[in-house]
Structure 1
Amino acid sequence: MKRFGSVRLWVSLASAGFLLASLLSNGRQMAQLSLDLQGWFWLLLGLGISLLSLMVNGLAWGVVLRWLGHRPQWLAVMLLFLSSNLRKYLPGGIWHLHQRLRALQRQSHPLSGPQALLAVLLDPVLMAVAALSLVPWGGWQGGLALLCLLPLVLLLPRLLNPLMERLERSKAQQLLEGGGVSAAPGSLQLAGYPWQPLLAELAFVLLRFAGFACCVQAFELAFHLGWGAWMAGFALAWTAGLVVPAAPGGLGVFETVLVLRLAGTVPEAPLLALALSYRVVVSLADLVAAASARADLARLRNSRYC
């Protein structure tokens, strides 16, 4: 477990080092880039779509809860998801999960520790699988397309159940360290293939890509690649940022994988500018969504006492 954690840390440090070196070597070319009014409009549109994607992400988590046999209160679930999402930028990459786990165990109809832990951890697993399923849109890619489809097989119950048990054991201790939760892994068995939550997560990832596509348009880079190739590069980089939680919010990992994957066909300086602009767009979206959700939660609490 400690060895795995150290590997994630070294991956994050290596990604940050590569990104810094790329910025230093391409700084002069990046300084010469500028956006016209239409480019700023595309970035603003990307911000709006990214905000919409976060709401869909919260609703997708509600679909996960319903598929697991619970009865989610949709507004409450989405507000909890959005208000906790900003915590993914904290070191460790588990504090947004910790807040959701604690909330599920403290609601009016609380879930048991194993139920809540499964509900919280299944969500990012389905996100990653949904994102990887988009990589084949970029073509065969030397067999990478087939490799990225294999996780769809892992969602079969006979494979998903042992996978989730291992994930629960590996994350339970980390979540317990935050206090206020019961994160003991259980022996809950998933009975069927999670088609509904998987499609919901796929809708989220597609909206996430739409926000990224707006940034591509802002820098007028679309002609370098077909949209299938852009989608494949984005999906691979986004998944890498998701599964390396030692990097807060995937910071550095997403940008590094995107540049390594696409630098051969897209000029590196504008590609770096694209990656950094998208980081600013999604971070602003996270901030606005979290602030709005917390304000809505405060209003809901106050209305109950009026």
Structure 2
Amino acid sequence: MKKIRLSWLVGPLSVLLLGIALWRHGNQVLELAPDQEGWALLLFGLGATVAAQWLNAIAWWALLQWLRVPLPLPQVLLLFIRTNVYKYLPGGIWHQLGRLRWLRSQAVSGRRALLAVLLDPLLMMIAALCLVPLGGLQWGLGLLAPFALLLLRPCWLNPLLERLLRSKRAMLGPAEECSSDAPLLGSPWQPLLLELPFLLLRFAGFGCCVATFSSISSLGLGVWLAAFCLAWVVGLVVPGAPGGIGVFELVLLARLRGLIPEAELLAVLVSYRLISVGAELLAAAGAQIDQRLAIRSQ
């Protein structure tokens, strides 16, 4: 019980610390108002982040195919996009629950459905770690990060998934069971490869914020990308931070502190968070409208 309570404090504490940093540098951040070119860059970043959501949905569809769950691409895309905004709700698991329930409604076994929602963040994490070496050695992190690929070896992947299945079995509900099945064969390389351009598109949106309030060349593209991916991974795995809010920003602040002015970095982080949430809301609204139009046409 204590662990659960502590995890719930992570998100609010991270937001509080970020708020303190913004309060300390508030005037300096406000002075960094974007010009006309800056607004154009932010708009482009918004478009890139919206496109990233759809590419992430395609990667999830490819994962379903690898799990031998042959569902139609349009239905999977619309469901994934609509449920993506649920991750900002307290608990941070409602997007997974929405997808899990939908898969069960499509007669997918409890085990396969749960694997589909658990493998998705794992693949995103591994893809992000594979991009970390582009920032250099980083005290050895650049050498260690790619070893995350070993998690996809069947001899490591199956025990890891079994442990995750046992810990998340409650998501299926008391009346459901996660029946035993044969171990997965092979590795989900195709879904993983699709996660790479998804992350690069997300970074493109982030890079637009950097170009608006700071400079990519101040640190180099690789350093910015590595810091972004590292913060993405931490925000993804730390419990109690829905959507990584606060945690993602704090990791980037800690990683890049002293390398660029803190006011510039705060402006980048705030603008990217607004773009990220706005893009997911826009994509979800578009998916919802598309679904209603399809229902009316029938």
Smaller-chain TM-score bracket: over 0.9
Paired residues of 2:214 and 2:264 also in contact (CA < 8 A): no
Displacement of 1:190 in angstroms is 1.4
Displacement of 1:4 in angstroms is 4.4
In the other structure, the counterpart of 1:63 is 62
AA aligned opposite 2:230: L
2:124 alignment partner, one of 122, 127, 142: 127
Q: Distance in 2 between matches of 1:245 and 1:202?
A: 24
Q: Distance in 2 between matches of 1:130 and 1:283?
A: 22
Question: Could you say if the C-alpha distance between residues 93 and 185 of structure 1 is closer, same or farther in structure 2, counting changes exceeding 3 Å?
Answer: farther
1:258 and 2:252 equivalent?
A: yes
AA aligned opposite 1:206: L
Paired residues of 1:135 and 1:236 also in contact (CA < 8 A): yes
Paired residues of 2:96 and 2:117 also in contact (CA < 8 A): yes
Q: Distance in 2 between matches of 1:105 and 1:99?
A: 10
- The SS at the match of 1:296 is helix
Question: Could you say if the C-alpha distance between residues 188 and 88 of structure 1 is closer, same or farther in structure 2, counting changes exceeding 3 Å?
Answer: farther
Displacement of 1:13 in angstroms is 3.6
2:112 alignment partner, one of 115, 126, 144: 115
Q: Distance in 2 between matches of 1:50 and 1:227?
A: 18
Paired residues of 1:50 and 1:208 also in contact (CA < 8 A): yes
List structure 1 segments (4+ residues) > 2 angstroms apart after TM superposition. Answer: 2-14, 181-188, 301-304
Q: What is the CA deviation profile of residues 21-71 of structure 1, one whole-angstrom value per residue up to 9, with x for unaligned ones?
A: 211211121122111000000000000000000000000000001111221
Paired residues of 1:155 and 1:194 also in contact (CA < 8 A): yes
Question: Could you say if the C-alpha distance between residues 245 and 27 of structure 1 is closer, same or farther in structure 2, counting changes exceeding 3 Å?
Answer: same
- The SS at the match of 1:59 is helix
TM-score normalised according to structure 1 size: 0.93
2:283 alignment partner, one of 286, 289, 296: 289
- The SS at the match of 1:142 is coil
TM-score normalised according to structure 2 size: 0.95
1:170 and 2:167 equivalent?
A: yes
Name structure 2 gaps, 5 residues minimum: none
May I ask how many residue pairs the two structures share in their alignment? 298
Displacement of 1:215 in angstroms is 1.0
- The SS at the match of 2:25 is helix
Paired residues of 1:114 and 1:188 also in contact (CA < 8 A): no
Q: Distance in 2 between matches of 1:199 and 1:185?
A: 29
- The SS at the match of 2:140 is helix
Name structure 1 gaps, 5 residues minimum: none
Residues 1-306 of structure 1 mapped to structure 2, 5 A cutoff: 2-107=1-106, 110-173=107-170, 175-176=171-172, 182=176, 184=178, 186-304=180-298
Displacement of 1:203 in angstroms is 1.6
Q: Distance in 2 between matches of 1:76 and 1:212?
A: 29
**Which deviates the most, 239-248 or 93-102?**
239-248
